[in-house]
Structure 1
Amino acid sequence: MRVSIVQPRDLAEPDVGRWRELQEADPAFDSPFLSPEFTIAVGDLQEQVRVAVLHDGPDIVGFFPFERHAMGIGKPVAAGLTDAQGLVYAKDLELDPQRLIRACGLGVFEFDHLVAGQPLLGARHSRHPSPIIDLRDGHDSYIETIKQTSGKTYRSTAYKTRKLQRDVGPLQHDYAITDTEALRTLLGWKTDQYRRTGRSDRFAHPWIVELVERLLATDTESFGGVLDMLYVDGRPVAGHFGLRTATTLAGWFPAYDTAFAKYSPGLIHHLAMAEKAAKAGIEVIDMGRGEKEYKEKLKNGEYEVAEGRIARPSAGAGLHWMLRVPVRKARGTVLANPLLRTTADRALKTFGRLRTSLQSS
């Protein structure tokens, strides 16, 4: 096997076509984060993005998108933003992960959302559920399942939907729109949420804002950005921006106006989004790894993703171990324990309130 390393912008159209062909041949790769368009878009904004093209004789048998940082530390493309990571490759590919990262000029490659079945996956890597809304049997079937598994939530959301309309006005849901003003409103809500909950504001990085805007303007048969918004009496109350393939919508940035929090606008919106997405041909909404209450209430299935690293003896790998592995293990311990997870979440929200108070004073 031969490996060539290129910048995403240098992929020729036949290469992109081959990538797409390999992606569409295996359902495990049906995520927009594994699409060539996503890597190319990020690569236009981040110089550290590379693609390893795997050749077997004259044939291209795989693509491995990654970021190469100082001291040979490797990460997935747009690390921290993506819910699906890994190789897109031909069936029955035999691959030595150590040889691959060496060919990429890496001492270590760290991941936290590696999709199932990857040749990069080792026995010691931790596995985590990634909840989904499975619409392959139709939207009606999904709703019947939710009524059984989350009946109280479904009834409460239906009641709040009616109450919101009685109190404020009629509801309107617009799916797959390209309104940049609506996008700015959504990102503003998301920034407020990050600050309120003590998280780092992703949209404080201009390149992420530009990436989202570029992806909003992308709409092909196999890949595109999807913005949808819920309005009441003409006022936006909740929305979501995500990415799609022909059949999978990846949940990415959901948010709502906290002035309407008592009506649970996020749940109202997600149920409306599922219906519109199903009509548009979406079969799966991947809500992504993470212990969020709304995901547990809305899911009717789940994927599996893995977290860990691949390393070979090098100074960069040693430094990475010291800086990252103990922190990752501690975080994993907290997330695996409901009491510790709740305590940590409360601490972050307290920090968020203090930060907001200091910024406004």
Structure 2
Amino acid sequence: MKISIARPRDLADSERARWRELQKADRALDNPFLSVEFAVAMDRLRDYVRVAVVEDAGKIVGFFPYERHGFGVGKPLGGFLTTCHGLIAEQGVQLDAKALLRACKLNVYDFDHMVAGQPTFAPYESDVRPAPVMDFTAGFEAWLEQVKANSPKNLKTVRYKERKLGREQGELRLEWASADPEVLRTLLAWKSDQYRRTGRVDRFAQPWIVELTEQMHAERSTDFAGVLTMLYSGDVPVAGHFGLRTATTLVGWFPAYDTEFARYSPGIVHHLQMAEAAAAAGLLMVDMGKGGKEYKDWLKSGTLHVSEGRISRPSPAAAVHWMGRVPLNKVRTIVLDRPSLYKAADRVLKGYGRMRSALQHEPAVKETTGAR
């Protein structure tokens, strides 16, 4: 097989069409983070984005998008921002993974949301994790029945809060696929506040991530689009979500809500209404991503699987990278896999977030003459 390296932006129309064809031919690749549109958008914003084009007997059989960082360190496209990566290829295609790295000029490649079981990467998988999904293949009502079976108490509580929110704050209305950039800015402001409040790094403090989100919001084609949903109580926005979709799958990305309405659990109320709107729009699945929140367990009606692993070629850079990354990855996996540890870590981060917020709002001490 022949492997050539290009920038996604430089792919010809015929190559982009082939990428879409390969993606649609394999249900396991039905994820917008694997779409050529996402790769091209990332390439506009990041100089280190590349794609390996794989040919066999003159025919393109695969695409491998990646990021090439210093010292030949390879990362999945979008890194920590994305929840799915892999080789977009004909089913059954298997490459020599180390030969692929050599062609990409990579010494090491870490992955943690790889489409599980891909022949090229399966030998290097160190762990496989479930990613819960809302599956509407049998219809919205069938999904809702599964949610009820998962936890009738949770569903009853959320429906009660939903009615209470509408009664006390104004009739509820969900806007699906809002094109209003001001609505997006409102959502991102909530999300930034959530990151800071819970002790996380504010992703939207990085201008390129804001620009990427805005570009994705402007994408509106049959095969790929940004989807912004917002739940209103009366005329007031209370909770929303921004994600990406293919023709049939929406991927969860940035959910957030106005904390003024926290007593009504507006985030979960929004998710229930978003699920109904997604099914009505013809989508077959909402991928909620692996790990994290308990609400995913009772909203799910199926699972996908993603894998973690590492490929390296013998080199000093790969050895240094292993010493710095592997222990951290193992700790993170252990924490995410154990609800009690996850809750404890979450409490620590939230405490840090409250302390950081308090310090940021504390009046500055005035300097006196001779003060240092």
The structural deviation recorded for 1:124 is 4.7
Residue range with higher mean Cα deviation, 326-335 or 174-183: 326-335
Is the contact between residue 72 and residue 316 of structure 1 (CA under 8 Å) also seen in structure 2? yes
Q: Secondary structure at the match of 2:93?
A: coil
Residue 108 of structure 1 is matched in structure 2 by 108
Matched ranges for 1:223-238 at <5 A: 223-238=224-239
Q: Secondary structure at the match of 2:238?
A: strand
CA distance in 2, matches of 1:216, 1:293: 28
After superposition, the CA RMSD in angstroms is 0.9
Residue 370 of structure 2 is matched in structure 1 by none
CA distance in 1, matches of 2:74, 2:293: 28
CA distance in 1, matches of 2:286, 2:340: 29
Q: Secondary structure at the match of 1:94?
A: coil
Residues 156-215 of structure 1: CA deviation (Å, up to 9, x unaligned) = 111111111111111111001111010000000000111111111110110010011011
CA distance in 2, matches of 1:43, 1:124: 27
Letter of the aligned partner of 1:355 in structure 2? R
CA distance in 1, matches of 2:148, 2:343: 27
Q: Secondary structure at the match of 2:176?
A: strand
Residue 280 of structure 1 is matched in structure 2 by 281
Is the contact between residue 127 and residue 307 of structure 1 (CA under 8 Å) also seen in structure 2? yes
Q: Which runs of 5+ in 2 are unaligned?
A: 363-372
CA distance in 1, matches of 2:288, 2:344: 23
Matched ranges for 1:201-216 at <5 A: 201-216=202-217
Q: Secondary structure at the match of 1:80?
A: helix
Residue 303 of structure 1 is matched in structure 2 by 304
Residue 295 of structure 2 is matched in structure 1 by 294
CA distance in 2, matches of 1:215, 1:346: 32
CA distance in 2, matches of 1:90, 1:158: 44
Q: Secondary structure at the match of 2:63?
A: strand
The structural deviation recorded for 1:334 is 2.2
Residue 38 of structure 2 is matched in structure 1 by 38
Residue 134 of structure 1 is matched in structure 2 by 135
The structural deviation recorded for 1:57 is 1.6
Q: Secondary structure at the match of 2:177?
A: strand
Is the contact between residue 71 and residue 315 of structure 1 (CA under 8 Å) also seen in structure 2? no
Q: Which runs of 5+ in 1 are unaligned?
A: none
Is the contact between residue 125 and residue 310 of structure 2 (CA under 8 Å) also seen in structure 1? no
Letter of the aligned partner of 1:56 in structure 2? D
TM-score by length of 1: 0.98
Matched ranges for 1:159-308 at <5 A: 159-308=160-309
Letter of the aligned partner of 2:115 in structure 1? V
Residue 53 of structure 1 is matched in structure 2 by 53
Residue 73 of structure 2 is matched in structure 1 by 73
CA distance in 1, matches of 2:199, 2:310: 27
Q: Secondary structure at the match of 2:166?
A: helix
The structural deviation recorded for 1:297 is 2.1
The structural deviation recorded for 1:319 is 1.2
CA distance in 2, matches of 1:98, 1:89: 17
Residue 148 of structure 1 is matched in structure 2 by 149
CA distance in 2, matches of 1:339, 1:275: 32
CA distance in 1, matches of 2:148, 2:253: 25
Residue 125 of structure 1 is matched in structure 2 by 126
The structural deviation recorded for 1:344 is 1.1
TM-score by length of 2: 0.95
User: Which structure has the larger Rg?
Assistant: 2
CA distance in 2, matches of 1:323, 1:164: 48
Residue 19 of structure 1 is matched in structure 2 by 19
Is the contact between residue 3 and residue 55 of structure 1 (CA under 8 Å) also seen in structure 2? yes
CA distance in 1, matches of 2:34, 2:175: 27
CA distance in 1, matches of 2:327, 2:273: 41
Q: Secondary structure at the match of 1:147?
A: helix
CA distance in 2, matches of 1:91, 1:225: 27
Residue range with higher mean Cα deviation, 306-315 or 115-124: 115-124
Residue range with higher mean Cα deviation, 340-349 or 51-60: 340-349
Residue range with higher mean Cα deviation, 340-349 or 36-45: 340-349
Is the contact between residue 124 and residue 310 of structure 2 (CA under 8 Å) also seen in structure 1? no
Letter of the aligned partner of 2:18 in structure 1? R
